[in-house]
Structure 1
Amino acid sequence: RRWLKEGKKVKVRIRFRGRERDYPELAMEDLKEIADELQDVSVIEQRPSFEGRTLLMVLAPDTGKK
């Protein structure tokens, strides 16, 4: 939250190990929860996407809200 308020972007990564790869919906729920908690200071710049065994989402500061 502090970094977003300072105008910096935040990259959120979840790395899957072992059998965790069989349940990507659990990680998607976690990312959605994070985005919901930070919606007052951020917007989703890059929707959650897989890069190998990592799920990645980028949040950017919401310049319209202070």
Structure 2
Amino acid sequence: LDHADFCYLPSVCGNCKALFRRFFFNASSQQCEEFIYGGCGGNRNNFETKAPALMDAWGGACPQPS
């Protein structure tokens, strides 16, 4: 994936059964949103806190909100 491609990936809970609170950049809403991550699998659109998701998203990797 190109650096910006992860911005368009959906949130993916993964294959495991843990309940980790994570954040992803939602390209449709142009917002960083919370989801539950199972602990394994998933994709790069997965951040432990809201700040890195927004920094990557709005720092040039992903489209900036209008």
TM-score by length of 2: 0.29
Higher relative strand content: 1
TM-score (norm 1): 0.29
Name whichever structure is richer in helix by fraction: 1
Return the index of the structure with the highest Cα Rg.
1
